[in-house]
Chain A
Amino acid sequence: MNTHLKDVKANATRVSRRQVMIGAAGLTFGIALGGAKAALIASERTGQPLSPWVSIGPDGAITIMSAATEMGQGSMTSLPLIIAEELDADWGKVHIVPAPVDEKIYGNPGFGGLMYTAGSNAVTSYYKNLRILGAQVRRVLMDNAAKKLGVPVEELSTEPSFVVHAKSGRKLGYGEIAAFAEVPAQAPEIKPEDLKKPSQFRLITKDVMRAELPKKVNGSARYAIDVQLPGMLYGAVLRAPVEGASPEKLDEPAVMAIKGVVKVVKLPYGVGVVAETPWAAFAGQRAIAAGISWSKEAKGWGFDSDKGLESFAAAARDPKAQVTDWFKLGDVRSEMQQAASTFEAEYRCDYAYHAQMEPLNGVASVSPAGDSAEIWCGTQSQTMASEATAKALGIGREKVTLHDTLLGGGFGRRGPRDMDFLVDAVLLSKAVGKPVKSMWTREDDIHNGRFRPLSAHYLRAGFDASGKLAAWQHRLVGDRVTPFADPVRYEKAGKKDFILMLGADAKGYDVAHQLVEQVYEDTGMRTAPLRGIGFTANKFATETFVDEIAYKLGADPVAYRLDLLSKTPRARNVMARVAQMADWGRKREGLGLGAAYIDYSGTQIATVVEIALDRRSGKIKFHNVWCAIDCGVAVQPDNVVAQTESSIVYGIGLALTERISIKDGAVEQSNFYDYVVARNRDVPPLHVEVIQTENHPTGVGQMATPTITPAVSNAVMALTGVRLRHAPFTEERVRKALG
Chain B
Amino acid sequence: MVTTFTVNGKTASTDAPSDTPLLWVLREGLKLTGTKFGCGAGLCGACMVHVDGKRAFSCQTQISEVAGKSVITIEGLSSDSSHPVQKAWLAERVPQCGYCQSGQIMSAADLLNHNSKPTREQIVEHMSTNICRCGTYQRIVRAVERAAREA
**Residues in chain A within 8 A of chain B (CB atoms):** 1, 71-74, 209-210, 212-223, 225-226, 228, 234, 259, 277-279, 355-359, 406-411, 439, 441-443, 638-639, 642-643, 645-650, 652, 671-673, 677-681, 683, 685-686
Contact = CB atoms under 8 A, between A and B. Distances in A.
A442 B41 contact: yes
B101 interface: yes
B38 interface: yes
Contacts of A279: 16-17, 20-21, 24
A638 B139 CA distance: 12
Contacts of A357: 36, 38, 44, 46, 97, 99-100, 131-134
Given A357-B46, A442-B38, A642 B98 contact: no
A407 B34 contact: no
Contact of B90 (A217, A234, A355): A217
A407 B130 CA distance: 19
29 contacts: A72-B134, A209-B90, A212-B98, A213-B90, A214-B90, A217-B94, A217-B101, A217-B105, A219-B102, A220-B34, A278-B24, A278-B27, A355-B133, A356-B99, A357-B38, A357-B134, A406-B98, A409-B99, A410-B97, A441-B40, A442-B38, A442-B39, A648-B135, A649-B137, A650-B135, A671-B41, A672-B39, A677-B133, A681-B125
Interface in B18-52: 20-21, 24, 27-28, 31-41, 43-44, 46
A219 B138 contact: no
A408 B99 contact: yes
B31 A228 contact: yes
A679 B127 CA distance: 8
Secondary structure call for the B interface = loop
A223 B95 CA distance: 14
Secondary structure call for the A interface = loop
B67 interface: no
B140 interface: yes
Interface in B83-97: 86, 89-90, 93-97
A445 to B, nearest CB: 9
A182 to B, nearest CB: 42
A652 B127 CA distance: 18
Interface in B57-88: 73-75, 77-78, 81, 86
Given A72-B134, A671-B43, A679-B131, A210 B37 contact: no
Contact of A218 (B36, B37, B81, B137): B81
Nearest to B32: A219
Nearest to A358: B99
Interface residues of B, number: 57
A702 to B, nearest CB: 12
Contacts of A678: 135, 137
A72 B139 CA distance: 14
A671 B137 CA distance: 21
Closest 10 CB pairs of A and B: A219-B34, A649-B135, A408-B99, A72-B97, A216-B98, A72-B96, A219-B74, A226-B33, A216-B95, A672-B43
A408 B97 contact: yes
A218 B75 contact: yes
A441 B37 CA distance: 9
A442 B105 CA distance: 22
B113 interface: no
A672 B75 contact: no
Interface of B: 16-17, 20-21, 24, 27-28, 31-41, 43-44, 46, 73-75, 77-78, 81, 86, 89-90, 93-102, 105, 124-125, 127-128, 130-141
Contacts of B33: 219, 222, 225-226, 228
B38 A680 contact: no
> Of residues B21, B125, B131, B137, which shows the largest number of chain A Cβ atoms within 10 Å of its Cβ?
B137
A356 B133 contact: yes
Nearest to B80: A218
A680 B133 contact: no
A645 B81 contact: no
Nearest to B17: A279
B37 A646 contact: no
B140 to A, nearest CB: 7
A524 to B, nearest CB: 27
> Of residues B74, B86, B97, B131, which shows the largest number of chain A Cβ atoms within 10 Å of its Cβ?
B97
A410 B98 CA distance: 12
A574 B124 CA distance: 30
B146 to A, nearest CB: 13
A642 B134 CA distance: 9
A210 B91 CA distance: 11
Contacts of A210: 93
> Of residues A74, A677, A683, which shows the largest number of chain B Cβ atoms within 10 Å of its Cβ?
A683
Contact of B137 (A259, A278, A683): A683
B93 A638 contact: yes
Nearest to B24: A278
B85 to A, nearest CB: 8
Contact of B81 (A214, A225, A358, A407): A214
Contact of A359 (B17, B37, B86, B130): B37
A638 B142 CA distance: 15
A174 B96 CA distance: 32
Nearest to B82: A218
Given A441-B40, A673-B41, A680 B86 contact: no
Contact of A277 (B16, B74, B137): B16
A407 B24 contact: no
Given A409-B134, A650-B135, 11 more contacts: A217-B95, A218-B75, A218-B78, A279-B16, A356-B133, A408-B98, A645-B139, A647-B135, A671-B43, A677-B131, A680-B127
B107 to A, nearest CB: 10
A649 B137 CA distance: 9
A646 B96 contact: yes
Contacts of A220: 34, 75
> Of residues A443, A648, A649, A680, which shows the largest number of chain B Cβ atoms within 10 Å of its Cβ?
A680
B42 to A, nearest CB: 10
